[in-house]
Each structure stands twice: as structure tokens, then as C-alpha cells.
Amino acid sequence: MSSNIMSSHTTPVRLDLKKDEKLDIEWQDGVRSTYSVSLLRSMCPCAICKEVRNQGKITGKKSLLTILPGNYSKPLQVVSAELVGNYALRIEWSDEHGSGIYSFEYLREIISKNS
């Protein structure tokens, strides 16, 4: 099966975002996932952040946030979020780094690694 085909574990039935705190997702297969904003930001899927993460010098989520590109002088929060088609969530951050497109497949993947 191609990964582009929607399946129940990558289909959200409910999305609940608290912009300065967390994102809750309830998936079609009954699983609920909670992502703190710091987790989401530190797992930004863009090429720059991916490269920083891949350098492998990172020990914890907190230190990761401080080395990723962006302005963290203010508390991190989501400025806006919108659905991209039916496969992803685009999140714009307060840190001036830009926006990342988080596919639902990616969101499912990172929660299984971080919980």
C-alpha cells in the first residue's frame, strides 16, 4: 500500500489546538495523541530543522529548541494553523522561523517516537 493513501491511523477525526500549550489529535483508529507546542516546534519538518536534528548532538527536547533557527525571546506559541488538503496541518509559529507543514503521517510517526 502506498503511503499516500489515507488510512485510519493517519486520519484525524478531531483536532484541538491550544495555541500556547498543545495540540490534541484523536485519530480514526481510536488513538489520542497530545503534542506540546515545544515538541511540535522542535520536530519542525522543514529541511533546515531536519539537518540540525540529524547532526546528532541533541540530547533533550529543550536543548533542541534552543539550537533550532528562530527567535525564542518570547514564549513559543502557534500563530495560526490550517489544514492542507486532507493530509497535513500547516503551522505558523511565533518564533519568526516560518511555517512547517506537518503531514498527519509525520505527526503519527513523531508521537510514537516521543511517547
Assess 52 for contact with Zn ion (CB under 5 A). Answer: no
Quick check: 42 and 59 in contact, CB under 8 A? no
Assess 89 for contact with Zn ion (CB under 5 A). Answer: no
Q: Which of 57, 51, 54 is nearest to 69 (CA)?
A: 51
Question: What does the block give as the cell for 93?
Answer: 509559529
* Stretch of 21-29, 31-39, 45-53, 57-65 contacting Zn ion, by CB under 5 A: 45-53
Q: How far is the CB of 104 from Zn ion (least distance, A)?
A: 18
- Name which position in 49, 64, 78, 107 contacts Zn ion (CB under 5 A): 49
Residues between 2 and 41 with contacts to Zn ion, criterion CB under 5 A: none
Q: Which residue do the cell numbers 503519527 mark? A: 108
Q: In what order do the strands lie in the sheet with 22-27?
A: 12-18, 22-27, 32-36
- Name which position in 40, 44, 107, 111 contacts Zn ion (CB under 5 A): 44
Residues lying near Zn ion in the complex (CB under 5 A): 44, 46, 49
